[in-house]
Amino acid sequence: MINIKKLLGAFALSLTCSAVMAAEGGYRLDHAPDRINNMASLQNGAKLFVNYCLSCHSANSMRYNKLTEIGLTEEEIKKNLLFTGDKVGDLMKIAMRPADSKRWFGATPPDLSVIARAKSQNLGPSGVDYIYTFLRTFYRDTSKKSGWDNAVFPSVAMPNVLWQLQGPQTYDHVTIQRTEKDGKEAWTRSTASYDADGYAQVKIENLANYRGPEVSHSAFKPADAAKAAAFDNNVADLSNFLGWMAEPVQLLRKKIGVFVLLFLGLFLVVAWRLNAAFWKDVK
């Protein structure tokens, strides 16, 4: 008899395999602090979002008055978060037309309503982790059109909108890569150092006796550690807000879920005993 244990074992095996796969490749994402139950953080995130993001990015599925669910009153929303002629019941739309933004930036800034869900990875880091890392890994690069590049999303069209909050930082990027030279395996190390103004020093060396693996290592050095820490804190709040906005019902969902499961647990016991009562005489 092939039993469930074997089946479950096979399932567990296939799941662990995929977890290993998910961790591979690309820039290693930082883990964003979990503040989803922290209303002050969500409110700060909302403020940052409306001030810094909501001129180029829309949130077409999000109404301003939905922010009452993170503890703001309609009065506060009207006073602090509504800048244009929008009403408190309006959707977070923007005036910039997609065709224009495409011409100006090279790409239309995506709608951010559910971006935190879209950027999650299967059994891997969440979209909040992605945003938290992405917003903190801009570096100045004079060779780029906007003057900025990003370690998580290379050649991104978006400039570092939050640079005044962040303060200057330098960026070192070391990669060791395998190359083919006349059919022979060769390894090179390239070290790129970007200063705070975006001028890069690039050094490429051949590694004679190196035999893998490929390495990609990044290091950011802020000029002002205290300012950078405050910035990280703000970005954590902003990412947190984007995570909340991707599914505003998530807090309620989990709360209800506890009661539903408690009820169903009770129901299971009743059903089990009912069944036992009916079957007790069956020989």
Partner 1 sequence: MAGDKTVETTGLLGWIDRRFPLTSLFKEHMSEYYAPKNFNFWYFFGSLALLVLVIQIVTGIFLVMNYKPDGQLAFDSVEYIMREVPWGWLIRYMHSTGASMFFVVVYLHMLRGLFYGSYRKPRELVWIFGMAIFLCLMGEAFMGYLLPWGQMSYWGAQVIVNLFSAIPFIGPELSLWIRGDYVVSDATLNRFFAFHVIAIPLVLLGLVVAHIIALHEVGSNNPDGVEIKEGPKDANGHPIDGIPFHPYYSVHDIVGVAGFLIVFAAIIFFAPEMGGYFLEFNNFLPADSLKTPPHIAPVWYFTPFYSMLRAITADFTWVLAVCSVLGAIALFFRGGLRGSWRIAVPVILVVLAVLLRVIDAKFWGVVAMGGSVVILFFLPWLDKSPVRSIRYRPTWHKYLYAIFIVTFLILGYLGTQAPNATFNLMSQIGTLIYLGFFLLMPFWSRRGTFKPVPERIVFHAH
d(CA 58, CA 98): 10
Site string for partner 1, 183-202 (x = CB under 8 A): --------------------
Residue 37 makes contact with partner 1 by CB under 8 A: no
Q: Which lies closer to partner 1 via its Cβ, residue 40 or residue 261?
A: 261
Least distance to partner 1, CB of residue 61, Å: 4
Q: Report, in Å, the least distance between residue 109 CB and partner 1.
A: 13
Q: What's the rounded Cα separation, in Å, for the pair 157 and 102?
A: 10
Q: Is residue 245 within 8 Å of residue 134, measured between CB atoms?
A: no
Query: In angstroms, rounded to a whole number, what is the distance separating the alpha carbons of residues 245 and 91?
Result: 13
In the list 23, 123, 204, 223, the residue contacting partner 1 (rule: CB under 8 A) is 123
* Cβ partners under 8 Å of residue 146, min gap 6: 105, 157, 158, 159
Task: Using CB under 8 A, pick the residue from 114, 151, 156, 238 that binds partner 1.
Answer: 114
Checking DSSP bridges between strand 200-207 and strand 215-222, what pairing results, if any?
A: unpaired
CB 35 within 8 A of CB 240: yes
Q: Does residue 23 interact with partner 1 by CB under 8 A?
A: no
Q: From CA 193, how far away is CA 56, in angstroms rounded?
A: 30
SS3 259: helix
Residue positions counted in the chain: 283
Is residue 120 a contact point for partner 1 (CB under 8 A)? yes
Beta carbon nearer to partner 1, 209 or 212: 212
Q: Which stretch binds partner 1 (CB under 8 A): 33-41, 113-121, 132-140, 202-210?
A: 113-121
Cα separation, 183 vs 206, in Å, equals: 16
Q: How far is the CB of 18 from partner 1 (least distance, A)?
A: 7
Q: Site mask, partner 1, residues 45-84, x = CB under 8 A?
A: ---------------xxxx--x------------------
| Number of other CB atoms surrounding residue 44 within 10 Å | 19
Q: Which residue lies nearer to partner 1 by CB, 71 or 257?
A: 257
Q: Nearest to residue 132, comparing CAs of 149, 122, 119?
A: 119
Residues 6+ apart with CB under 8 A from 194: 139, 140, 141, 170, 171, 172, 173, 200
**Between 122 and 164, CB nearer to partner 1:** 122
Binding positions for partner 1, 218-277, rule CB under 8 A: 246-249, 253-254, 256-258, 260-261, 264-265, 267-268, 271-272, 274-276
> Interface residues with partner 1 (CB under 8 A)?
1-2, 4, 6-7, 10-11, 13-14, 17-18, 21, 60-63, 66, 110-111, 113-115, 117-123, 127, 246-249, 253-254, 256-258, 260-261, 264-265, 267-268, 271-272, 274-276, 278-280, 282-283
